[in-house]
Amino acid sequence: MSYKLKSFFRLLLISVVFWTIAFVLLTALRYNGLENQLKLFTDEERLYLPIREYYFFSILIGLIVSVFYTIIEFIFDRLSKRLILGLSIIFKSIVYFILIVIILSASSFLLEIELDRDLSNDNGWWKTNLRFWTTVVYFVIASVVFSLIRLANDRFGRGNFIQVLLGTYKRPKEQERVLMFIDLKDSTKIAEHIGHKMYSQFIQDCFIDLNITLGRYDAEVYQYVGDEAVIYWPSRKGFHRNNCINLFYAFQSKLKKKKAYYNTKYGFMPEFKAGIHFGKLMVAEVGTVKKDLAFHGDVINTASRIQSLCNSYGKKLLVSESVLTKLNISDTHYELISQDIELRGKQERLKIYAINYSE
């Protein structure tokens, strides 16, 4: 199954859970206990169906909404990499409004058949219908909550947002991570030739292409520093099917496919170099004004040091011995570069290997 298809079904699953709960909650707030309260003031039967039937319709609406919501979000997630955020919000709002009118109109027709009653569902019925606008407001609030959850999940990395909510990293936790430092080659030369404004757009385009590639290999971005990105994986995901090195070559392939675009727009074809190291580090929640998850430990400094050696040895991808021993590649795809790399401030020496491998 392709990565895009996996992403779609992952979003669909989350949407089904969220929107089903959201509409069941709306039904509970609107109808639960209402019939007993009304009997205190009137003999009129206001709940035309048993309450369980309303819950059934709320689940049905939640499922329908989640399918359309997933399709719309999936499409705009792809477009948002190039589309201005404000335009994306406006377009999505229009689509969602039309979607709500259609779904609630269809639901009204179904209830009309079920109840054998004449309900208000003529053309334009929604313009003056209080319940419709109440549902719209509720949908907007729920959408904002869902969007914030997704943004927070993107901000902290998949799965980390729940850990932050639970306070898991209030105290530093020791965890194994695979770290990749990936850096633009000849960045100074490029910046001097195209100027700082075009150079900024150049880096932005490169990182957009990198971001498109990340999900296929279960990678997360730790941080961006100038023209450098720091990528990480939990150890299991990083070495699964050689994800940590396949990502680098997939990114290289992505850039090559867009060679004409980069050469036409900037006059340069971007080339990146990377260093990868693996080991234990501390993960901690830091900051109050701008909360973030921070990594502390020698693994970070070592990965950065390995990446800095790429130019010296004329190689694009260097890895430490701790990484190589976890990879599933033949000895024809790597070579020992040095077994005498001294790390700053440490007596320890490191074996470094160059990888020449494609998935």
Rounded CA-CA distance 257/216 in Å is 17
**What tokens were used for 45?**
């039967």
What's the sign of the alpha-carbon dihedral 70, 72, 78, 84? negative
Angle (deg, nearest 10), helices 51-79 and 85-115: 160
Whats the size of the chain, residue-wise? 359
pTM of the model: 0.73
Q: Is 263 helix (H, G, I), strand (E, B) or coil?
A: helix
Q: Which of 135, 124, 150, 8 is nearest to 74 (CA)?
A: 8
Q: Could you tell me the mean pLDDT of each successive run of 10 residues in the chain, 359 residues long?
A: 74 90 86 53 53 81 88 79 67 81 73 57 68 81 84 72 75 92 93 92 93 90 92 93 94 94 94 95 82 87 91 92 91 78 65 81
**What tokens were used for 139?**
């949908």
9: Cα within 13 Å, side-chain hemisphere:
5
Instruction: State the CB neighbour count (10 A cutoff) for residue 252.
Output: 18
**Domains defined along the chain, listed by start:** 3-156 (no CATH), 171-355 (3.30.70.1230)
Residue 338: C-alpha distances to residues 44, 309, 312, 333 (Å): 87, 11, 11, 16
Residues pairing with 354 in the sheet: 318, 335
Q: pLDDT value at position 41? A: 45
Q: pLDDT value at position 180? A: 97
Q: What angle do CA 69, 140, 149 make, to 5 degrees?
A: 70
* Secondary structure tally for the chain: helices H, strands E: 13, 8
Residues pairing with 293 in the sheet: 285
CA terminus-to-terminus distance, the chain: 17
143: Cα within 13 Å, side-chain hemisphere:
19
Rounded CA-CA distance 89/80 in Å is 10
**What tokens were used for 182?**
């990936």
Q: Is 228 helix (H, G, I), strand (E, B) or coil?
A: strand
